[in-house]
């Protein structure tokens, strides 16, 4: 029997960190060997980043983009693979993670749900088939009151899938906010709407609205365990992989559009 894959968890005190720990501990193919959080954090069994890097095969990270960038740089120097689930990264932060991936294997995804990744494929297909001159695209997402970024990383992934289906640059057509007298909606615009409140785990929908019909594709997350399971599956997949920047589509073996 092969030795278990040694897993460390960054952001171990957070909601996602705790959910990931439960999934790891229930899998006999894995060993939870380290838990750590921001410097100065206190908690039973917490270790330092240096200790985690020295012990782990893979680190699962649901912290913040800035923390993920530093972790990626450190992991690259220790030949430790990463699974990054932080959302809201800037272009510079994404570039820094991609640079670190030249030295170690990194899975970087805005959402680790199988259902959401299936939704992305459906959105791209619908956008390809439904002409922009007829169908407006609007993306709605809702999360709990504690989420700090908006729109969500998943919402952007869905917007990128729609833009990819239409063969356009996402940044050229994205409309993240509306306020005041905005004027008539431009043809081809991909709009975003956001709700923050209560304990909503994650709701995403993509609406294709024409004059005479409306098509809505949606996904509802009921428990953080679904994201934790996807992240742990990614950790098992990426262990031992060559350096490179991967995403959930790679993990699931889906072909990219």
Residues assigned a catalytic role: 143, 147
What is the distance between the alpha carbons of residues 120 and 220, in angstroms, rounded to a whole number? 14
Partner residues linked to 164 by β-bridges: none
Query: Is-contact 46 70, C-beta < 8 A?
Result: no
Contact present, 163 and 173 (Cβ < 8 Å): yes
DSSP state of 124: H
214-221 sheet: strands from edge to edge: 174-175, 190-196, 136-143, 202-209, 214-221
Question: How far is CA 185 from each of CA 85, 115, 131, 195, 218, rounded to the nearest angstrom?
Answer: 33, 30, 15, 21, 23
Handedness of CA 63, 65, 66, 70 (dihedral sign): positive
DSSP string, 108-122: E-S---HHHHHHHHH
CB 106 within 8 Å of CB 246: yes
Cβ–Cβ < 8 Å for 144, 197:
yes
């Amino acid at each position: 029997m092969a030795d278990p894959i040694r897993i460390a968890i960054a952001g171990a005190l957070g909601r996602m960190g705790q959910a990931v720990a439960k999934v790891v501990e229930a899998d006999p193919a894995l060993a939870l060997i380290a838990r750590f959080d921001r410097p100065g954090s206190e908690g039973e069994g917490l270790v330092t980043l240096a200790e985690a890097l020295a012990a782990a095969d893979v680190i699962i990270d649901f912290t913040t983009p800035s923390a993920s960038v530093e972790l990626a740089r450190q992991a690259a120097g220790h030949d430790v693979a990463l699974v990054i689930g932080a959302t809201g990264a800037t272009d510079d932060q994404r570039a820094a993670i991609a640079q670190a991936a030249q030295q170690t294997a990194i899975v970087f995804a805005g959402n680790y749900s199988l259902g959401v990744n299936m939704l992305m494929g459906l959105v791209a297909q619908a956008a390809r088939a439904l002409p922009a001159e007829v169908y407006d695209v609007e993306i709605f997402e809702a999360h709990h009151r504690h989420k700090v970024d908006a729109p969500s990383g998943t919402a952007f992934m869905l917007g990128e899938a729609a833009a990819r289906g239409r063969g356009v640059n996402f940044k050229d057509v994205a409309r993240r906010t509306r306020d005041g007298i905005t004027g008539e909606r431009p043809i081809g615009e991909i709009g975003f709407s956001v709700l923050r409140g209560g304990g909503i785990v994650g709701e995403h929908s993509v609406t294709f609205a024409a004059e005479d019909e409306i098509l809505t594709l949606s996904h509802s997350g009921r428990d953080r365990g679904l994201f934790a399971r996807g992240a742990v599956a990614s950790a098992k997949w990426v262990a031992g992989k060559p350096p490179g920047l991967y995403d959930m589509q790679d993990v699931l073996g889906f072909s990219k559009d």
